[in-house]
């Protein structure tokens, strides 16, 4: 867990048990670099960033007295399927 103040707000970044096999320091710094966007997002918003091994890190923002950013999942291998809509 990483706890710090940012622009007068207290921020906590935590990893759930499903997302423990990542370089946490790298992910903390990556998230800290986009805090303005995260703080501007709605409560319950999910987001994705890359970790140092180019895996996808899935997180969620919870706003209350504190802003809690929970890292929910590390996607080891990706395969994205997008359905094309016909016009």
The domain in which residue 46 lies consists of 2-75
DSSP letters of 31-84?
HHTTHHHHHHSPTT-EEEEE-TTS-EEEEEEEESSSEEEEEEEEESS-----PP
| Domain annotation covers residue 37 | yes
| Domain annotation covers residue 26 | yes
The pTM (predicted TM-score) of the whole model is: 0.80
In tens, the pLDDT along 17-66 reads 877 666 888 889 999 999 999 889 999 999 999 888 888 899 999 999 99
Residue 68 has pLDDT above 90, yes or no: yes
| Domain annotation covers residue 80 | no
Residue 86 in 3-state DSSP? Answer: coil
| Domain annotation covers residue 19 | yes
Q: Tell me if 60 sits within 8 A of 3, measured CB to CB.
A: no
Alpha-carbon torsion angle 31, 66, 24, 52, nearest 10:
-10
| Domain annotation covers residue 84 | no
| Domain annotation covers residue 86 | no
Q: Categorize the per-residue pLDDT at 87 as very low, low, confident or very high, splitting at 50, 70 and 90.
A: low
Q: Which two tokens stand for residue 12?
A: 């906590």
Count: domains in the chain: 1
């Amino acid at each position: 867990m990483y706890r710090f103040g940012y622009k007068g707000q207290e921020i906590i970044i935590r990893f759930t048990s499903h997302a423990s096999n990542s370089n946490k320091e790298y992910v903390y710094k990556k998230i800290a670099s986009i805090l303005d966007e995260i703080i501007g997002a709605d409560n319950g918003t999910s987001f994705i960033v890359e970790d140092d091994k180019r895996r996808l890190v899935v997180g969620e923002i919870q706003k209350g007295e504190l802003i809690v950013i929970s890292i929910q999942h590390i996607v080891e291998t990706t395969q994205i399927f997008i359905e094309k809509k016909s016009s």
